[in-house]
Homo-oligomer: A and B are copies of this chain.
């Protein structure tokens, strides 16, 4: 599988656009990031992508996992995020609504740490 490789210098909104496009096209999304700065950007991208997809009725969830990868002959531990649509939600619908509103606020203020 191809990974979206996210670094500490990646733009969360650009990565979010890629995630949203792939989810809309039914393409499996897996993100790989190495180091705290990269993981942070990946998480922000997923939160922003939720805001892109919620207006068209798609709710995404993510599943983080560790992966040993080789970078220039050295073994490093990456975090991989599987991002998937989840259309049905049996409980906490009010919570999700709150989160979506928070996302929208964030996108409007275009605040990225």
Which residues of A are interface residues toward B (Cβ below 8 A)? 8, 28, 35-37, 39-40, 43-44, 46-47, 50, 60-68, 77, 79-80, 82, 84, 86, 92, 95-96, 99-100, 102-103, 105-106, 111, 113
B residues in contact with A106, CB < 8 Å: 66, 77
Q: How far is the CA of A105 from the CA of B66 in the complex (A)?
A: 9
Oligomeric state, in number of copies?
2
In contact, A47 and B79 (Cβ under 8 angstroms): yes
Q: How far is the CA of A47 from the CA of B67 in the complex (A)?
A: 11
B residues in contact with A100, CB < 8 Å: 65
Contact of A64 among B28, B47, B96 (CB under 8 A): B47
Residue of B nearest to A100 (CB): B65
Contact of A65 among B65, B68, B77, B102 (CB under 8 A): B102
Closest 6 CB pairs of A and B: A36-B40, A65-B99, A61-B61, A66-B106, A47-B64, A39-B40
B residues in contact with A77, CB < 8 Å: 106, 111, 113
Residue of B nearest to A8 (CB): B36
A8 CB → nearest B CB, Å: 8
